[in-house]
């Protein structure tokens, strides 16, 4: 039996293992992803204000710069997925940390041109693109790596814990970023962007890799078609998340509500709480059923932010948005894994996450233009409508197949 077959043959044993064993297998990767994404979380409340207040850019430019990361991540998903499948998921994750660290160098360089705002913005754009390549490799590689370790029958748990790492980093990173920015300015945030991914690299260096699952490049469109419907659900449900990350800080500043970092924390805490309490449900009762309920909660959260006349209501809206979006991602994601062949598992995860990139890449500039025309609060009404459309996708998934059907498994099993 080849090493590849041995790797696949180990997956069924893991399915019968206690949840604790799955958790132990996922823990090192989860910690590394958390550490790597911490610097992204630190940037979330700081970068829009740096662009707006320090460089004097309008909301449209802010939206374009923030959204550029998601556009670049979208364009790199195919490359990242094939890299992980062919060269190994661990190599993909390590390369991602190096790209993320290099983005911090671009941020540092931009500070030398604060008196020439256009040049500074272009360097920030370069940093966002480098960060996008890093994020694409880290997220795609980590999902494929973890599923390779614990088996596709635990795909929902993988998405839950990797998601906890990512959004936990956002929740902690946002207030830390505000503190760092208040004390050391954007220079401190840029330095954190350089060194934090290197710590993540160290954390994951001793974890064993898994055997690459492909020997040749798979065309992206072939996998994309397999995950199209759940990917559309992810895209629509991700609009609410995109609006919170890109514009909540500007909304709080416009209304003089004080610390917007608490909104990011409310989103993150609710997100993590939902996954800890209910993260087993997508594998147990079916992804589409879980997604259906989750996106309804998220849409209500967007409406709360739209109608908020106090910071407390906005915090509640951010929390509901985070709680709902928390299980929408693995809910639709379980449906995507069930539709994708195992030899292209990382590429399939890249294709699925690409719908998140599409949503965020389009949402940020469009919402920026809407905010300039109708005010910052109006974008959250549009967000509620977009999220509500993902209800239709969840219903369609329920109608087109058994949500609890057996996932793809390797022929080696």
What are the φ and ψ backbone dihedral angles of 126, each rounded to 5 degrees?
-60, -45
Closest CA to 405 of 336, 337, 338, 333: 338
Is pLDDT above 50 for 14? no
Is pLDDT above 70 for 261? yes
Is pLDDT above 90 for 16? no
Confidence of residue 121 (pLDDT cuts 50, 70, 90): very high
pTM above 0.85, yes or no: no
* Whole-number pLDDT of residue 345: 66
**Mean pLDDT computed over 261-277:** 85
Enumerate the H helices of 111-227 as residue ranges.
117-150, 155-204, 220-226
Q: What is the pLDDT of residues 188-247, one digit of tens each?
A: 999 999 999 999 988 888 777 677 666 666 676 677 777 889 999 999 999 988 888 778
Of 106-110, 123-127, 161-165, 317-321, least confident by mean pLDDT is 161-165
**Mean pLDDT computed over 109-120:** 91
* Whole-number pLDDT of residue 409: 38
Q: Which segments within 6-102 are labelled E, that is strand?
A: none
Is pLDDT above 70 for 151? yes
Is pLDDT above 80 for 377? no
Confidence of residue 9 (pLDDT cuts 50, 70, 90): very low
* Whole-number pLDDT of residue 216: 65
Q: What is the mean pLDDT of the chain?
A: 82
* Whole-number pLDDT of residue 195: 94
d(CA 367, CA 242): 10
* Whole-number pLDDT of residue 242: 84
Of 78-87, 136-145, 212-221, 317-326, least confident by mean pLDDT is 212-221
Of 132-141, 152-161, 264-273, 300-309, least confident by mean pLDDT is 152-161
Closest CA to 326 of 364, 349, 368, 297: 297
Q: How many residues in total does the chain contain?
A: 413
d(CA 383, CA 376): 12
Q: What is the pLDDT of residues 283-341, one digit of tens each?
A: 788 888 999 999 999 999 999 999 888 999 999 999 999 999 989 988 998 888 777 77
d(CA 322, CA 301): 8
* Whole-number pLDDT of residue 213: 62
**Mean pLDDT computed over 97-101:** 93
What percent of the chain shows pLDDT beyond 70? 88
* Whole-number pLDDT of residue 130: 94
* Whole-number pLDDT of residue 106: 95
Q: What is the pLDDT of residues 17-40, one digit of tens each?
A: 456 777 788 888 999 999 999 988
Enumerate the H helices of 88-154 as residue ranges.
89-110, 117-150
d(CA 339, CA 393): 15
Q: Please, what CATH class does the domain formed by 3-207+217-400 belong to?
A: mainly alpha
**Contact between residue 231 and residue 78 where contact means Cβ atoms under 8 Å apart:** no
* Whole-number pLDDT of residue 394: 92
* Whole-number pLDDT of residue 217: 66
**Mean pLDDT computed over 70-96:** 83
């Amino acid at each position: 039996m080849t090493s590849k077959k041995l790797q696949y043959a180990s997956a069924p044993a893991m399915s019968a293992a206690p949840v604790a064993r799955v958790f132990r297998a996922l823990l090192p990767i989860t910690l590394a992803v958390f550490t790597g994404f911490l610097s992204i979380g630190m940037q979330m409340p700081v970068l829009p204000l740096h662009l707006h207040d320090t460089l004097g850019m309008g909301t449209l430019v802010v939206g374009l710069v923030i959204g550029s990361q998601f556009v670049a991540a979208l364009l790199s998903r195919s490359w990242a997925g094939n890299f992980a499948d062919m060269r190994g998921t661990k190599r993909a994750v390590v390369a991602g940390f190096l790209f993320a660290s290099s983005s911090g160098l671009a941020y540092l360089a931009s500070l030398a041109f604060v008196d020439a705002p256009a040049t500074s913005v272009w360097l920030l754009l370069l940093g966002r693109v480098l960060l996008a390549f890093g994020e694409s490799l880290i997220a795609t590689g980590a999902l494929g790596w973890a599923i390779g370790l614990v088996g596709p029958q635990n795909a929902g748990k993988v998405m839950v814990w990797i998601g906890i790492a990512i959004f936990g980093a956002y929740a902690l990173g946002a207030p830390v970023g505000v503190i760092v920015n208040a004390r050391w300015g954007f220079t401190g945030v840029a330095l954190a962007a350089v060194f934090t991914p290197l710590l993540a690299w160290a954390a994951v260096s001793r974890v064993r890799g898994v055997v690459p699952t492909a020997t040749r490049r798979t065309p992206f469109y072939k996998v994309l078609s397999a995950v199209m419907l759940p990917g559309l659900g992810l895209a629509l449900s991700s609009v609410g998340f995109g609006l919170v990350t890109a514009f909540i800080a500007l909304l709080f500043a416009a209304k003089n509500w004080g610390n917007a970092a608490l909104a990011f924390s409310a989103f993150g805490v609710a997100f993590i709480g939902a996954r800890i309490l209910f993260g087993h449900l997508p594998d147990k009762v079916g992804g589409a059923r879980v997604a259906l309920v989750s996106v309804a909660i998220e849409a209500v959260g967007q409406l709360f932010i739209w109608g908020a006349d106090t910071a407390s209501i906005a915090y509640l809206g951010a929390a509901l948005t985070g709680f709902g979006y928390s299980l929408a991602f693995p809910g639709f994601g379980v449906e995507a894994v069930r539709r994708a062949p195992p030899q292209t598992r990382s590429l399939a995860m890249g294709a699925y996450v690409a719908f998140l990139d599409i949503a965020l890449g389009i949402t940020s500039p469009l919402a920026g233009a809407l905010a300039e025309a109708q005010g910052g609060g109006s974008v959250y009404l549009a967000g509620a409508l977009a999220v509500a459309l993902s209800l239709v996708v969840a219903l369609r998934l329920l109608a087109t197949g058994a949500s609890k059907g057996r996932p793809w498994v390797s022929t080696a099993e």
